[in-house]
Structure 1
Amino acid sequence: MSLTPEGAFLFHTYLRTVAIWMDLMDHENTYQTHIPRYILTSPLLFHSVCAFAARYLSLCNSQQLHSTWESVASSHYGEALQLMIRALNSPSHDHIVTATILLSSYEIVSGIASERHRKHLLGQTMLIKYHKLSARSTGEDRANFWIHVRHEIGAALATERPVMLDPMEWGLTWHAEELREDVQGNHVLWILARVLNLIYGEEKQDEASNWEKREGFLQELEDWRKAQLHTFIGIPYGEEDDDGFRKVFFTVTAAAAGTFWYHVTHILLYAEPTLQNEAFVPFIQDQAKCIGDIAVSEFPDELRVFASHGLYYAAKHIEGLGRKARLWGIMNMVEEQLGYSTRPMVRRLQAGVEAGGK
């Protein structure tokens, strides 16, 4: 493919921004090192990458000509969709899942209506199943599988629904020798997905049976925690701020992500969709503070984006208007600085407080 100055700029933007987001839980850095090899030989990948990068530029606060990039993003997005439809109707499906993941990411950062995106996510799920992608996949397929999982988790948390791809069909196998932060971080996402299916599933359960299953997940989380590398332990530094938060340092971003979701999953088990027992309130506050400590720290962009839905639940349940407002502010900054849509979540939180929430 021929390359224009604009295309080269979008390519570089992709490599230094959203590609890093995609590789949050992938030590192989597939979207930074593997995918770029094919961008100039695959029109579908090229337009998908350009659409995503241009959409980022149209939303983040680092650019002045937002409207210009918005039209560029829409043009590449439309071209990529047409190419995808042709690819789906032809024998060749090279990089079709990767392009779908990229365009789905475009929709997520754009804040496209949840129901519309849910339909697209359902199509993405069917594509994942058709190509038999799983946790046992390798290379590009493995990267795409776990990004799809993160997409599903974000959608499930936003809509309070189960994930669509049954976690029991992910084909996971865990080995003690897999001492990598990305592998262990993805393990906690598997626990989280199963928790989401329990608390937001349609299956009716009696109270005793429901709590028994929740207790089982709490034990599973502790077993996960005990098996982790030292990199999953955040090192506090500095003094507590006026809201009682204290910054923590993680040497590996994937470990910070895994620890973050470990704490979020606890809150879900204790308090969603309703508080399970008043005796759990102190535990919920401990978990929410741990989440807040990570959030106020030097939060890498890729973690800030993926963590927004989890931060919502910390802000929802943490006590004290000042603390809530602090977490709201962090969520708002994610949208202002990175373009990732968070304001609808903040408005829901504020409405809850105005309606009489704590």
Structure 2
Amino acid sequence: MARLLDAYPSEMDLAIVGTILLSSYELLAFPGLDYQRHLRGAHTIVASLHAHNSASCLTRASFWIYARHEVAEALNRNSPTLHDPGSWPKFDLSRAEPAEDSFCNDVVRLTAETVCIVFGKTSRSRTKRRKRDLSTLQGELRNWLHICPEQWKGTEYTEDGNVRYWFPRPKFGAAIVIYHLSMLLLWHELEKISEGPGDVNEMFDQVDAHSRQIILIALSSLPDSAIVVVVQPLCYAVKHIKDNTLKENAIFLLHDIEARTGFHTKSKLERQLCR
């Protein structure tokens, strides 16, 4: 791989684009063994190119597409990401004119850190340090949401008595869903290492609240380009939501997404509910 990088640097840029594009088609058609092999191949190229710090705009853009694939697969398998998110770029979100992509990419990074701490080898460790690490990550996520431009966060409205949200930038609606999923996972993990019944009740309520927001946003007529991104969070929300009506509506939506787009949802939902 090192020799290929030295001899054909521009071709390797195209190789990662082609690999990720192929993975995207396979993810839509059926995320089986071929998809997993190509994702591991993309991981090898990404690591060899140091794509997250590449001087090439094309390679950096490819990295963030790859990162989304890796986070989605980690969520699907309840496992850490292959690539250490601690090395991923952190964005300066306090700039005068923040870019939408910067916010969306940064919440992907935070979600990757979430799945690594929740599903990593220390996931059963009951220590004060672990509780502190989980709470620190929650603080970073809250700060991300606080810095987000208000106009991007969506406008709440009522339709036939149901709460819905309208997003001027639908892609950001998907980013908000990913934020809620990360908070759901962190609260659920804190609940497992809590020390008193009072703490447990509060954490259950927080898990339910974030599950509710995921479902309500998903039910808000997001375009297909955004709705496929919320499939995995929706599966987690179905597992944890207390409201049976919202649970049923979310399941109906998942079936509808598969029927309309061909994106596999049934297998993802079954895998999540069986855990």
The interval holding the TM-score normalised by the smaller chain is 0.7 to 0.9
Q: Determine which of 37, 47, 51 is the counterpart of 1:119.
A: 37
Q: SS of the counterpart of 1:172?
A: coil
Taking the aligned partners of 1:333 and 1:122, their CA distance within structure 2 comes to 30
What are structure 1's unaligned runs of at least 5 residues? 1-86, 353-358
Corresponding residue of 1:260? 177
Query: Larger radius of gyration, structure 1 or 2?
Result: 1
Q: Determine which of 213, 233, 247 is the counterpart of 1:310.
A: 233
Residue 125 and residue 227 in structure 1: after superposition, are their counterparts in 2 closer, same or farther (change >3 A)? Answer: same
* 1:238-297 alpha-carbon deviations (Å, 9 max, x no partner): 2464xxx51100101232122111111110101149745332111122111111121111
Taking the aligned partners of 1:94 and 1:181, their CA distance within structure 2 comes to 24
Corresponding residue of 1:287? 210
Please say if residues 231 and 252 of structure 1, whose CA atoms lie closer than 8 Å, have aligned partners that are also in contact: no
Please say if residues 152 and 167 of structure 2, whose CA atoms lie closer than 8 Å, have aligned partners that are also in contact: yes
Task: Describe how 1:1-358 pairs up with structure 2 within 5 A.
Answer: 91=8, 92-93=11-12, 95-113=14-32, 117-134=35-52, 137-177=55-95, 179-203=98-122, 205-239=125-159, 241=161, 245-272=162-189, 275-276=192-193, 277-348=200-271
Letter in 1 for 2:116: N
Q: How many pairs are equivalent?
A: 261
Taking the aligned partners of 1:302 and 1:156, their CA distance within structure 2 comes to 21
- The two structures have a TM-score, normalised by structure 1, of 0.67
Corresponding residue of 1:6? none
Taking the aligned partners of 1:278 and 1:102, their CA distance within structure 2 comes to 44
1:183 is displaced (CA, Å) by 0.7
More helix by share: 2
Q: SS of the counterpart of 2:163?
A: coil
Taking the aligned partners of 1:220 and 1:179, their CA distance within structure 2 comes to 17
1:231 is displaced (CA, Å) by 2.8
1:219 is displaced (CA, Å) by 1.0
Identical counterparts, % of pairs: 25
Letter in 2 for 1:167: P
Taking the aligned partners of 1:137 and 1:266, their CA distance within structure 2 comes to 33
Please say if residues 164 and 216 of structure 2, whose CA atoms lie closer than 8 Å, have aligned partners that are also in contact: yes
Corresponding residue of 2:196? none
